[in-house]
Each structure stands twice: as structure tokens, then as C-alpha cells.
Amino acid sequence: MTTTIQFPISRIEGHAKVVVDIDEGKVRNARFLAQEYRGFEQFLQGMPADQMPVIVPRVCGVCSTSHHIAAVEALEHAYGITPPPVAEEIRHLMMVGQLVQNQATSLFFFTLPDKLQATSIFGADEKIGHDMLGSISKMAMAVRKIGTELISVAGGQFIHPVKAVVGGVVSGIDPTAAKAMRAKIKEALPLACSLFDEYWQLTRKMERSVGKWEDNDPFYYMVAVDKNDPTRPVDHVTMQKSDGSETITFRPRQYKEFLQFHRVQDSYSSKTSFNDLPIRANSLARMNLAESTGTPIADGYLERFRVEFGSPAHQILLFDLCRGIELINGLERADRILAKNLYDGEMNVPVVPRDGCGFGLVEAPRGPLIHHYQIENGLIVRAEFVIPTVHNNFSIERALTSMAKRYVHEDRIDMGLDRAMGWVVRAFDPCIACATH
């Protein structure tokens, strides 16, 4: 007889649940099911193509910057346009701001409570005490705010940035605003390091109590960033087998040739695989495939990470530590970008729209994001989003199944199964709002 146990998952973007199927005291499988439906691909049909950069950020209030830039790049690809270098730097700064904002949110608001067995970041204050520079919640909010302000400075506004346009950006960044932003970064960086150091210790403590959360079955890592600057996008996707034996690259226009897509009957989120194996995108993939972060403090953390956990490191628990490295890297990288002249020079080039097909590729905080538009008579006749969480879904379910087996026995189910399911899901930092587009 099969018994089904369901767990709603909190502290993630969107709504999802975990379903564990148990047959005669043994875990048969664990499924990660998205419960909401957005339908963006459907209602974009017939929309003017030039409106995509303004419309698609509404897919998600957290990932809006990634969708904004992906839409602009897809249209530029369709129109055969290359933006000026200064515009590309400002777009880069937007994406770095989103990285800082997202990783601070995931680390300190979503997963830090797990490390302290608290229900929220505000409960974490009581658990950890006030022996640092101030309360954890206030420090975390201060660091996260830097990400939102970076997006605003580079993108015009935080939630749904508007400054990137087909052909470049609307305007540059005033030197006075850049100087003020750099001062804020310099104040926030020690806070971020202090928080991350504490987080690292709590992660090691959690590892000793609950184990390493890993399995030996093969999978592929997936990234679309420069190997010496994991904040900088590239024009191709890299797939590397978990044992390092195989590395394959492909362009965004080739995604259907390389990725297998799987529909799920009882979930609004599909899944992808590569060579019929699960995929892991997100922070752990980027840090495993990077040669360096390109900034000194983050490189110090990356070296420490590799000494303590090996290279490549595969534990699910380590997604979170890699987010911390990326948070520090993002702050350092933003300071460097803002030191450049982002005010003078050509900000955009003339645009002549044309019908055709366009692909945009960006590395969102959760992994490679692809936008694919088919344009006829200036209108979108087909829009497809290939979402990072969709790439991770098979890996999430495999990790959930492995974790569930630790808690389910023939004669009992140990207390804490619900908490463990949440730990695993939050390690992947899924965005259900995007995955059910």
C-alpha cells in the first residue's frame, strides 16, 4: 500500500510543495510540485516586440532584472544589433546588483533560519545573540539593500528596471551617484563578510549534525558565465559532467538540440535533462567551474571552500556557501564597475526593427536563462522562456528522495522529515514564479 505525505514549502519564491510516496515503509520517490500557473508565454502572443523589455520583468519581482536584460538581448539578436561597450557595462552592473540582492535574500532570510532552527531571520536574532556588530536582521537588510540600490542606479528602478533598451541603455550613471554608491559598498562589505563568516560556521555545525547531503549518481553542471569572472555573462552555455569527464558548450539558439524537456502531469513546472541526466545550475555550478572570482576577498573564500570541501564539491549543502562567495564577489565587482566612466560616450545605437527569430541568454542568480522570440509584422507570435529552476527540478527531486530515505524506516517515520524537505528545496533556491511562466 502506498502512503503519500505532502509538505508545503515556505521561504522560497512562489508556491510549491513536496510529495513523498512511501510503499511498505520504503520511500518510492519524492516529488517537487509547483502549484501556481502564470501563463506569460500565452498572453505575450500578439504583443508588440518592442514592449518585451517592459512587460517580461513582471514575470517575477525577484528575477525581474534577468528577464529585462534577456528580453533586450533577444530583440538585439533578432535585429542584428550590438550595444556600445558602456551600455554593456551598465547592464553588467544591473545583473551584479541582482546577484547581491538575491544571494543576500537567499542566505540570510531564507536559509539562515534553518541553520539556527528558527522560523525567520528575526527569530535568528534571538538564537545567535548580539555579539556581532548588531542584530542579524538589521545587518542582513543593510547588505540586501545595497543590491536593490545597485539595480536602481543602473536600471532606473529596482523591482522592474527600465534603463536597458534595444541598442544600449537610456542614459549613463552620474559620477556623483557612482561615488555615493561606492561609499555604501565599502561600508556594507565588512558587514557582509561578518555575516558570511558566521553563516559558514553555522553551516559546518549543521553538516556535523545532519550529514553531507550528497549522492554519487552522475549529473551535469550548467553555467553561462566567464570562468574568471562568474558575474560576467558569455554567449554560450557550458555543460560539465559531475566527474569532470565531459564538457560541452552550445549557443542559446541550440537549446532544443541539447536539452531534453519533460512535462510533469501534476505540476505546472516542467523539467530539463542533459544526455538523460539531471542538471545542477545555480551557485555551486558557477563556483565549481570557475577558475577564480577575479576579486581578492571572494577569491580568498573560494580557496578556503576548495581546501575544506574539495574541487569539484558536490554536497547540496554547499549551494548556500557558494552564494555567500558570490555575494562578496558581487560587492567587490560592483565597486570596480562603478570606478569606471559610465557617464560619457555612446549609450545606444540606432535600431531598425525587423521580423525574425531572436535569442537572449543571461546568467540569472539561479542559472542560465534563455528568452526565445519569434517576431512577425513587429508582433510576438511565439515566446519561450527556459528557466533555471526548470533545469534544477530533477536534481531537487533526487536530493529530496535521498534525504527522505534518512527519515523513513519500515517501522516509523522520524520527526523532522518536514524540516529536512525544506532544507533541500531552499538549498537550490528555486523560483516557482518564473518556472510556471
In a domain, 363, yes or no: yes
In a domain, 112, yes or no: yes
Which CATH number does the domain housing residue 191 bear? 1.10.645.10
Q: What sign does the dihedral 67-73-76-78 (CA atoms) show?
A: negative
Per-residue pLDDT at 97: 98
In a domain, 349, yes or no: yes
Q: Would you call 10 exposed, middle or buried from its count of C-beta atoms within 10 A (0-12, 13-18, 19+)?
A: middle
Residue with cell string 558536490: 314
Per-residue pLDDT at 128: 64
- Are residues 16 and 266 in contact, defined by beta-carbon separation less than 8 angstroms? no
| Lookup: cell for 389 | 529552476
Q: What is the largest CA-CA distance in the chain?
A: 71
Query: How far apart (Å, rounded) are the C-alpha atoms in residues 67 and 81?
Result: 19
Domain span holding position 260: 53-392
| Lookup: cell for 23 | 510503499
DSSP line for 49-117: GGGHHHHGGGG-SSSHHHHHHHHHHHHHHHHT----HHHHHHHHHHHHHHHHHHHHIIIIIIIHHHHHT
- What is the chain's mean pLDDT, rounded? 94
Q: Name the more confident of 207 and 342.
A: 342
Q: Name the more confident of 332 and 15.
A: 332
Name the binding residues for Fe cation. Answer: 63, 434
Per-residue pLDDT at 121: 80
In a domain, 280, yes or no: yes
- Give the mean pLDDT of 274-279: 97
**Percent above pLDDT 70 for the chain:** 97
Number of residues that this document lists for the chain: 437
Collapse the DSSP code of 37 into the 3-class scheme (helix H, G, I; strand E, B; otherwise coil) and give the result.
coil
109-140 burial, b for 16+ CB within 10 Å, e for fewer? bbbbbbbbebeebeebbeebeeeeeebbbebb
Domain count, the chain: 1
User: Up-side HSE of residue 322: CA atoms within 13 Å toward CB?
Assistant: 30
Per-residue pLDDT at 371: 98
- Out of 38-47, 69-78, 251-260, 287-296, least confident range: 38-47
The 10s digit of each residue's pLDDT in 210-268 is 887 777 799 999 999 999 999 999 999 999 999 999 999 999 999 999 999 999 888 99
In a domain, 6, yes or no: no
- Are residues 201 and 131 in contact, defined by beta-carbon separation less than 8 angstroms? no
The 10s digit of each residue's pLDDT in 164-206 is 999 999 999 999 999 999 999 999 999 999 999 999 999 999 8
Label residue 16 by pLDDT band (50, 70, 90). very high
> Which of these, 210, 211, 220, lies nearest to 395 by C-alpha position?
220
- Out of 37-41, 83-87, 362-366, 402-406, least confident range: 37-41
User: Up-side HSE of residue 269: CA atoms within 13 Å toward CB?
Assistant: 30
Residues 6 or more apart in contact with residue 118 via CB below 8 angstroms: 112, 124, 126, 127
Per-residue pLDDT at 169: 98
- Backbone φ and ψ for 387, nearest 5 degrees, come out as -95, 140
258-291 burial, b for 16+ CB within 10 Å, e for fewer? ebeeeeeeebbbbbbbbeebbbbbbbbbbbbbbe
| Lookup: cell for 119 | 522560523
- Are residues 320 and 424 in contact, defined by beta-carbon separation less than 8 angstroms? no
Name the binding residues for Mg(2+). Answer: 41, 437
In a domain, 40, yes or no: no
Question: Identity (one letter) of the amino acid at 253?
Answer: R
Per-residue pLDDT at 133: 43
Name the binding residues. Answer: 41, 60, 63, 431, 434, 437
In a domain, 407, yes or no: no
Per-residue pLDDT at 158: 87
In a domain, 70, yes or no: yes
Name the binding residues for Ni(2+). Answer: 60, 63, 431
- Give the mean pLDDT of 343-348: 96
Work out the angle between the directed axes of helices 417-428 and 388-407 (0-180°, nearest 10).
Answer: 160
The 10s digit of each residue's pLDDT in 108-156 is 999 999 988 888 887 766 666 555 445 888 899 999 999 999 999 999 9
- Are residues 391 and 252 in contact, defined by beta-carbon separation less than 8 angstroms? no
Label residue 1 by pLDDT band (50, 70, 90). low
Residues 6 or more apart in contact with residue 396 via CB below 8 angstroms: 32, 424, 425, 428, 430
Residues 6 or more apart in contact with residue 212 via CB below 8 angstroms: 315, 317
Per-residue pLDDT at 211: 80
Per-residue pLDDT at 252: 98
Per-residue pLDDT at 132: 46
| CA distances, 102 to each of 15, 116, 152, 396 (Å) | 18, 21, 14, 19
- Backbone φ and ψ for 366, nearest 5 degrees, come out as -95, 0
Residue with cell string 559620477: 175
